[in-house]
Amino acid sequence: MFTFADLAKALNRSTVYLSGLQSRFELPNFDGAGYSEAYLAFLQTVVHLRTLSITEETLRDLWHIEKKLLVLLHADSTGSPTWFLDSCGATTSPKRRLLLTNYELGAEVHGKGVQLGLNFADTAPELFAGQEMGEDALRVLNDYRKLHTRISTDVNAEAPHVRAAVAWSKRV
């Protein structure tokens, strides 16, 4: 477990910057050493993508899509305030995981579908089915795929510049 100052040190970012990220991504705040490895892993992903020139607006859009998808898939089975971050830092099956939450879908993210009907939490039945209310996990997954593809393209375009900058910094 980490303190907020530990997170700032590990990420080489100011506490003011991290506090802004918490606010803009609507992340919970904790007192003392209340921040998990998964919380740090999420922030590392955001910092890495920002370093690769992915805009914060794009990341927030992806974040909202991922959280919407997780809600539609009933992924919150713990009731934890950080349930959407708890998979961050996992390294198995990377092609089956969402980019920011790192949640494993059970199928390749860019495959043809997702296993629907999984409900990990006991909840009261809804008056209408999600599809009748306009919520469709496959539609949200397609939105995710489009944005993920755009981010991947931007990262691949920026990576040579970052490698060149690192090489240059070693010479200076």
pLDDT higher for 14 or 113? Answer: 14
CA angle 5, 10, 11 (to 5 degrees): 100
Q: What is the pLDDT of residue 129?
A: 52
Amino acid letter for position 141 = L
Q: What is the pTM of this model?
A: 0.80
Place of tokens 């008056």: 127
Which residues face 104 on adjacent strands?
A: 97
Cα 85 to Cα 80: distance, rounded to the nearest angstrom: 10
Cα 81 to Cα 75: distance, rounded to the nearest angstrom: 13
Q: What is the pLDDT of residue 134?
A: 47
What digits encode the pLDDT tens for the residues 19-74? 999 999 999 999 999 999 999 999 999 999 999 999 999 999 999 999 998 888 88
pLDDT higher for 67 or 119? Answer: 67
- Asked whether 151 and 49 are in contact (CB, 8 A), the reply is yes
- CA nearest 91: which of 153, 44, 125, 41? 41
Tokens encoding 75: 């992924």
